[in-house]
Amino acid sequence: MGEAGEVGGPSKGGPLRVALLSYRSKPHCGGQGVYLRHLSRELVDLGHTVEVISGQPYPELDREEITLTKLPSLDLYRDEDPFRTPSLGEFRDWVDVLEFAHMKTGGFPEPLTFSLRALRLLKRRRRDFDVVHDNQVLGLGNLGISRLALPLVTSIHHPISVDRRIEIEAARGIKQKLGKLRWYGFVGMQAQVSRRIGPVLTVSESSKVDIVKDFKVDPRDIEILPLGVDTRIFHPRGERVPGRIVAMASADAPIKGVDVLLRAVAKVATERDVHVVVVSKPKQDGPTDRLVRELALGDRVRFVSGISDDELGELMASAEIAVVPSRYEGFSLPAVEHMASGTPLVASRAGALPEVVGDAGILVQPGDVEELAATLHRLHDSAEERARTGAAGLARVQERFAWPAVAQATVEHYRAAIAQQDYLRLAARADQARGK
């Protein structure tokens, strides 16, 4: 790594060697995988070397120059076999044993166990990188990275304490509530690590407030850096399907509000020819699957998953109305992607959504089925309002949300972290020279 003051060194403008850490990187569902994919591409396009270090599910990456180093877990939550019991031959070391034991007692171990594996890898390869960027792992192993003299920058998209609060409120009965408390036990660890980790990047003022409130992080350590949108995929594409409403949200997560959307669509569908497409895969006989049957939505609702980028872009641009019905969002990439598609957006007045959407969409009270249904009804009947709202959203995206700008700003935070590490090293040498 370059020393402080070295001409062309990492802190002074030269190309960087970046390690991007992500404990799970699902490419199309969940903001962490989407963020990783786009940021890594733009960093390479700026001339930097990027190595993504990830657990399962692994990311899709857009440049051959990006190295993907797979740091496998036991993959205990794979879609086709969740909460599985591995064969004895799959256990490689004590971290695997810890991961399985943690899962069997009702916890979610991946942030902790990934951080321990990542620290072990970085100890062997600490001279290969100029900076490490943690994509919301926040495991105890991350606290050891600074002892390797590796500068660390951390992204917290929003504190998972918010998800925990909403899930516990939605739980039925004391047994389910206790189960949720155990599952989200890792949140205490993340709060502890975030207070000690150094510079934090987050995506909105709303997320910053929540990180300060829930994780007790010093606000002076947090910088706001909004996310971008890939306009090669998300852009207007011509004709729209009459009556189509599209949402991209995890179907069975209460925080995402898919239940509210389905109830609202069921009301509108009694008077208008509407249907909804949700980009997600609900669990068979899970809460969303049961709600669809209860509402007798039939062919009024369709769930899609596993589609290509271009198919996703086409779907989002085919809608007459887009909805983000979440009870909370730290940022919401789907909201920006809907707006980039020129689709009129209806979003909850929750978390960072008002900040992201501004006056370029229609905001409704989170969880209010009646207000959402009335808004969908009105938009369905007014082509003029749909055109006006869609155009406003597209203009807002073009003005504010671009991945190249996000990557360039992120690099400046990398350089600041490297410079700080350089000064700490020089100060330590000075102390040694003085005999301290």
CATH number where 187 lies: 3.40.50.2000
CB atoms within 10 A of CB 100: 20
In the chain, % of residues over pLDDT 70: 95
Looking at the DSSP bridge assignments, the partners of residue 201 are 155, 223
Peptide bond into 57 cis (omega under 30): yes
Q: Scan for tokens 């005999």, then name that residue.
A: 435
Residue 185 lies in a domain: yes
Give the structural domain span for 34: 17-228+403-433
pLDDT of residue 30: 61
Looking at the DSSP bridge assignments, the partners of residue 49 are 17
Number of domain units in the chain: 2
Q: Are residues 109 and 25 both part of a single domain?
A: yes
pLDDT of residue 199: 93
CA dihedral 361, 37, 107, 175 (to 10 degrees): 20
Q: Which two tokens stand for residue 274?
A: 């509407």
pLDDT of residue 146: 86
Q: Which two tokens stand for residue 141?
A: 């192993």
Residue (of 72, 64, 197, 69) closest to 125 by Cα position: 69
Q: Are residues 316 and 429 both part of a single domain?
A: no
Q: Are residues 351 and 379 both part of a single domain?
A: yes
pLDDT of residue 9: 57
Q: Which two tokens stand for residue 380?
A: 């369905």
- pLDDT tens per residue, the chain (436 residues)? 444 444 445 756 799 999 999 999 987 666 788 899 999 999 999 999 999 999 999 999 999 999 999 999 999 998 888 899 999 999 999 999 999 999 999 999 999 999 999 999 999 999 999 999 999 999 999 999 989 989 999 999 999 999 999 999 989 899 999 999 999 999 999 999 999 998 999 999 999 999 999 999 999 999 999 999 999 999 999 899 999 999 999 999 999 999 999 999 999 999 999 999 999 999 999 999 999 999 999 999 999 998 999 999 999 999 999 999 999 999 999 999 999 999 999 999 999 999 999 999 999 999 999 999 999 999 999 999 999 999 999 999 988 898 998 999 999 999 999 998 887 777 767 767 676 5
Q: Are residues 296 and 396 both part of a single domain?
A: yes
Q: Are residues 79 and 147 both part of a single domain?
A: yes
pLDDT of residue 11: 59
Q: Which two tokens stand for residue 307?
A: 């589609």
Q: Are residues 277 and 358 both part of a single domain?
A: yes
pLDDT of residue 154: 97
Q: Which two tokens stand for residue 71?
A: 């740091």
Q: How many Å apart are CA 389 and CA 361, to the nearest integer? A: 6
Q: Report the SS3 class of residue 199.
A: coil
Residue 10 lies in a domain: no
Q: How many Å apart are CA 424 and CA 181, to the nearest integer? A: 40
Backbone φ and ψ for 399, nearest 5 degrees, come out as -85, -35
Q: Are residues 350 and 385 both part of a single domain?
A: yes
* Helix (H), strand (E) counts: the chain: 15, 13
Q: Are 32 and 157 in contact (CB under 8 A)?
A: yes
Q: How many Å apart are CA 412 and CA 402, to the nearest integer? A: 16
Computed from CA positions of residues 75, 79, 81, 83, in that sequence, does the dihedral angle turn out positive or negative? Answer: positive
Q: How many Å apart are CA 60 and CA 14, to the nearest integer? A: 27
Alpha helices of 25-82 — where are they, by DSSP H? 31-45
